[in-house]
Amino acid sequence: MHRHGIHVEVVTQTAADSDSPSFPWPVHRRPSRGQLLHLVRSCDLVYQNNISLHSLWPLLLAPKPLILSSHTPIDSTIERSGLKRWLKFAAMCRATCISCSHFLAQSFPVPSLVIHNPYRSHIFGPVEDQSARTRSLIFVGRLVQAKGLDILFAALDALRKQTITPSLTIVGSGGEQEKLKALAERLKLTSHITFLGSQPPAQLAELLRQHQILVVPSRRQPAEAFGIVALEGIACGTIPVVAAQGGLPEAIGPCGLTFETENPLALADTLQRILADPALQSDLRSRAAAHLAQFEEPVIFRQHLEVIQRALPRFDLLSARQ
């Protein structure tokens, strides 16, 4: 929006530190109540990524058009307080609501437009020489119980007992790392698993280009609202194999396979099938371009801009940005 000449000011509860980047637009970190009220009074529209009750109260004193863009469910797994869930739904009733997937939109008690998340096509793109894919499986995400890495380990154990031993690269960090390393050792999988920790986007793209399959084994709860990492994998030519939960099937479209959530044997069967079938891999990769076209940043930006234009009809935001 800034690049297209729209004045944007950002409010965040994240404090600045030595690693905080600088931005060409104003960033207000942890503003006081008075500062927050002044910012709301001076703006034309308030746009929130996920609902923050902490930042909505000024609208009671200075009403402005409100757009709420949701990227997580509002249920007991995300928001434990029943009162806060009720207040968030009440706020949604008075706003223009956007959801990042059809799955998420259907979970809300109010109408919500669907605008998917984009992926960064300038970073994530394919490699033409498929022989560069010398590694089998990759996982990208936080090392927490909800992401289901232990389910993937159990699937690898089942494959090992059939003398099928694909390699697994784990990209990410989190509180379960030592527990997962111990589990890999108990299952005698350590020689096939590499923990790389978190990686910057460009390095992640290179890693995805080296692997055949991206595995997303998330548990049922909390539900995955969408799956940007799946888009990034598809863009790099990695085939996603994802749990059939939340918005993950929506994210991969016709470019990957799903398996029964929290079922290691189903995951093992799916991995065995795709690893043994180069023609299937080629067919799934051939569908990527058409699928990814709807998630390009300019497409998603235009959809958001159209919503903002409807909320601010006195401004001409669209004509100069065709």
DSSP string, 134-159: -EEEEEES--SGGG-HHHHHHHHHHH
* pTM exceeds 0.85 for this model: yes
Percent of the chain with pLDDT strictly greater than 90:
85
Task: Report how far apart the first and last C-alpha atoms of the chain are (Å, whole number).
Answer: 13
- pLDDT tens digits, one per residue of 195-220: 999 999 999 999 999 999 999 999 99
Query: pLDDT value at position 196?
Result: 96
Residue 165 is classified by DSSP as -
- pLDDT tens digits, one per residue of 127-164: 877 777 889 999 999 999 999 999 999 999 999 999 99
Q: Which two tokens stand for residue 77?
A: 């797994």
Query: pLDDT value at position 39?
Result: 97
- Is-contact 180 207, C-beta < 8 A? no
Q: Please name the helix (run of DSSP H) or strand (run of DSSP E) that holds residue 97, with its range, or none.
A: strand 96-99
- pLDDT tens digits, one per residue of 45-61: 999 999 999 899 999 99
- Is-contact 97 113, C-beta < 8 A? yes
Name the CATH architecture for the domain at 130-294.
Answer: 3-Layer(aba) Sandwich (3.40)
- If you search the block for the tokens 């396979």, which residue do you land on? 257
- If you search the block for the tokens 């090392």, which residue do you land on? 143
Average pLDDT, the chain: 94
Q: What count of other Cβ atoms lies within 10 Å of the Cβ of residue 113?
A: 15
Query: pLDDT value at position 322?
Result: 47
- pLDDT tens digits, one per residue of 268-279: 999 999 999 999
Cα separation, 314 vs 50, whole angstroms: 26
Q: Please name the helix (run of DSSP H) or strand (run of DSSP E) that holds residue 215, with its range, or none.
A: strand 211-216
Domain ranges of the chain: 10-118+296-321, 130-294
Question: Which whole number is the average pLDDT over 230-254?
Answer: 97
Residue 252 is classified by DSSP as H
